[in-house]
Amino acid sequence: MSISMIGIDYNKANVDIRAMFSFTKKNATAAMERLKKISGIQGCVILSTCNRMELWASTKADWDGTLLEELCKIKEVDPTQYGEYFVERKEEEAVDHLFHLTSGLKSMILAEDQIITQVKDALTLARDAFVTDNVLEVLFRKAVTAGKKVKTNVIFSRANQTAMDQAIEMLKERNFPFAEARCMVIGNGEMGKLAAQSLRRTGADVTVTVRQYRSGVVTIPMGCSRINYGERLDFLPGCDLVVSATASPNCTLTKEQIEGLDLKKQIIFIDLAVPRDMEPGIGEIEGAELYTIDDFKLSGPSAATLQSMEQAEAIIQEEIDDFYVWYQGRALIPRIQEIKEDAVTDLNLRLHKILGKLPLSEQERKDLEASIDTAAGKVVTKMIFGLRDTLETDAFIDCVEGLEKVYEE
């Protein structure tokens, strides 16, 4: 068994390259189902967010394929053109990466909350599609546990920020008048709601676009107004700031649409979506100032942040060690099962003559032998796993090897 992943993120690829490899829930499910059918792939998970896309797989040890090639087949692109944007990790390096990622230590905004939910949701999507396996199940669950412990026990001075919070900080440095600003947020999904909430905290007048579905009433963040999505272009000229944060595969604003509005004042456009919600050409229009999610990166960590990261590292390492106890023990389970069966057979041979002398019917003798087999198996199993819980991993493996030699002949 082998654990491997390939990933593309904001460190090596801009928003447009990342968009080529992003997945919606629907096409992520289809891609994982396709991957699961490949001989040698035991399970897979796709994690796709605004800042990154990662493809995870547990494979047979002798699988000779590459995840990059399989991914590029799905996306119908040439792997030689895009390989430079990806990082490949295997085994310990991959495990270490996932735990640090889920704990927020590899996010564009350090220790942000969203990544824990995103990793958890990625596992749920894979589980619902029946494409994961017990290795990835335990790995991702343990990583989420580590992330929650870091969130609960470690204080980061800039924790819980979003890309919108970073954008607000940048605009505050430019003395943007939030208290008098009229803002529109296109999109009322998770990202849109977070953006609207962040803007409301500044005192800005915030209007959110919504699409009314038959499924029921659409809620928006407290303190915000609403308009229908189709009214966004009529509303836009009166805005000082326009944010778009949807999961739509199509643009919510195009250059042609904005040029047709004849802007009378400077408007700041912020595109937080991957793939883009706003056409890049909008930034070329007079009176329009366009930013993407890649424009809001943190500077180097402070001394206090470095101290918090050390505390997080200790928590992460403890959870990683716990995962390896399970992972390495998992490989020993078939060997332990064989030891148990050999021990039970040995006991049966030693009791055979004694049981034969007892005044029992044939059925009573069979029932007694079955009960002895069950009891003996439980005793042996309890003893072996008791050793596992009290010995270091290497010492426990030595014990298993020693027990195997007892019944080799």
The CATH number of residue 65's host domain is 3.30.460.30
Q: Could you tell me the CA-to-CA distances from 195 to 202, 221, 292 in Å, in that order?
A: 11, 10, 14
Considering 234, 266, 295, which residue would you say is the last residue of a domain? 295
Out of 50, 183, 224, 251, the active site residue is: 50
Query: Would residue 224 show up in a list of annotated catalytic residues for this protein?
Result: no
pLDDT at 111 over 80: no
182 lies in the same domain as 147: no
263 lies in the same domain as 187: yes
47 lies in the same domain as 130: yes
Which CATH number characterizes residue 174's domain? 3.40.50.720
115 lies in the same domain as 11: yes
211 vs 331, residue with greater confidence: 211
Is 66 marked within a binding site?
A: no
Sorted by sequence, the CB contacts under 8 Å of residue 185 that are 6+ apart come out as 192, 195, 196, 199, 206, 207, 208, 209, 224, 243, 244, 245
- As a whole number, mean pLDDT of residues 387-408 equals 76
Query: Distance between CA 225 and CA 209 in Å, rounded?
Result: 9
Q: Which two tokens stand for residue 183?
A: 């803002």
146 lies in the same domain as 198: no
371 lies in the same domain as 399: yes
- As a whole number, mean pLDDT of residues 47-51 equals 92
Confidence of residue 87 (pLDDT cuts 50, 70, 90): very high
Task: Determine, yes or no, domain membership for 309.
Answer: no
Segment among 152-156, 177-181, 329-333 with least mean pLDDT:
329-333
Q: Return the pLDDT at 129.
A: 96
46 lies in the same domain as 84: yes
pLDDT at 189 over 60: yes
Provide the CA 365 distance to its chain's centre, in angstroms: 55
How many Cβ atoms from other residues are within 10 Å of residue 116's Cβ? 21
pLDDT at 303 over 80: no
Task: Determine, yes or no, domain membership for 108.
Answer: yes
- As a whole number, mean pLDDT of residues 169-178 equals 92
Q: Return the pLDDT at 284.
A: 94
Beta partners for residue 210, in sequence order: 228
Considering 295, 322, 344, which residue would you say is the last residue of a domain? 295
pLDDT at 298 over 60: no
145 vs 309, residue with greater confidence: 145
Task: Determine, yes or no, domain membership for 310.
Answer: no
Is 251 marked within a binding site?
A: no
257 lies in the same domain as 363: no
Is 107 marked within a binding site?
A: yes
175 lies in the same domain as 93: no
Considering 128, 153, 178, which residue would you say is the last residue of a domain? 153
Q: Return the pLDDT at 356.
A: 79
Is 104 marked within a binding site?
A: no
214 lies in the same domain as 246: yes
Share of the chain above pLDDT 70, in %: 94
Query: Distance between CA 285 and CA 237 in Å, rounded?
Result: 13
**What pLDDT, in 10s, does the model give residues 219-262?**
889 999 999 999 999 999 999 999 999 988 889 999 999 999 98
Is 49 marked within a binding site?
A: yes
118 lies in the same domain as 222: no
- Give the total number of structural domains in the chain: 3
Q: Do the bridges between strand 182-186 and strand 241-244 make them parallel or antiparallel, or are there none, so unpaired?
A: parallel
User: Residue 89 sits in which domain range?
Assistant: 2-153
186 lies in the same domain as 90: no
Is 388 marked within a binding site?
A: no
Task: Determine, yes or no, domain membership for 168.
Answer: yes
Q: Return the pLDDT at 409.
A: 60
